[in-house]
Amino acid sequence: MDFSRGDLVAGVGISAGEYAGKEIVSTEGTTKKFHKVIENDKDIVHYLPCNKDISLRKLPTKRTFKRYLRDLKSSKMIDVGEFEGSRYRYFKNKFLKGSLKPMLEVFHDLNILKKEKKISVSERKLFNELKEKLVVETSYILDQKQDQSEDLLDNIGLTA
């Protein structure tokens, strides 16, 4: 994936940050290229090796994210009837795709199931994991406090 300076990104070990470009780092006689990501909330700089297995992904722009949220206003489940076997396994696999839109869709459906008290223990764990991740990313994308993002997410799929 190609990143540009200023892109909002997230990944394993990085809740949300700004892509600051590639840097060459020399240590012990070897030179390696790294992606530099700055987590402004925590004043942390991450250096991630430039390789194919990088677990870094772009976050959408504020405008795109707001469109995703508009698409999730329905109180009807998105994935109803689309999975075979374990509903939890389907949701977990969709969540693991890593991009924000599928994560929001899973969160939407789990939020509806939670309201209807039709959520399993493993689905509740997935819901809580997703919520924790989405609150941080939402607040970063929308440039707002985390409690505001949490309030916004708590209402996904619960209004018609």
pLDDT in tens, 34-78: 888 998 776 888 888 887 666 788 899 999 999 998 888 877 777
Domain CATH code at residue 46 = 2.40.10.170
Instruction: Name the band, by pLDDT with cuts 50, 70 and 90, for residue 145.
Output: very high
Q: How many domains does the chain fold into? A: 2
pLDDT in tens, 79-97: 766 666 688 888 888 888 7
Residue 96 belongs to a domain: yes
Predicted TM-score (pTM) of the model is 0.79
Residues 109 and 74 in one domain: yes
Residue 1 belongs to a domain: no
Residues 106 and 76 in one domain: yes
Residues 13 and 71 in one domain: no
Residues 93 and 136 in one domain: yes
Instruction: Name the band, by pLDDT with cuts 50, 70 and 90, for residue 158.
Output: low
63-97 burial: b if 16+ Cβ within 10 Å, else e: eebeebbeebeeeebbeeeeeeeebbebbbebbee
Are 31 and 24 a contacting pair, CB within 8 Å?
Answer: yes
CA separation, residue 141 to residues 49, 93, 113, 158 (Å): 24, 24, 26, 22
Expressed as residue numbers, the domain containing 92 is 62-154
Residue 160 belongs to a domain: no
Residues 66 and 139 in one domain: yes
Residues 68 and 44 in one domain: no
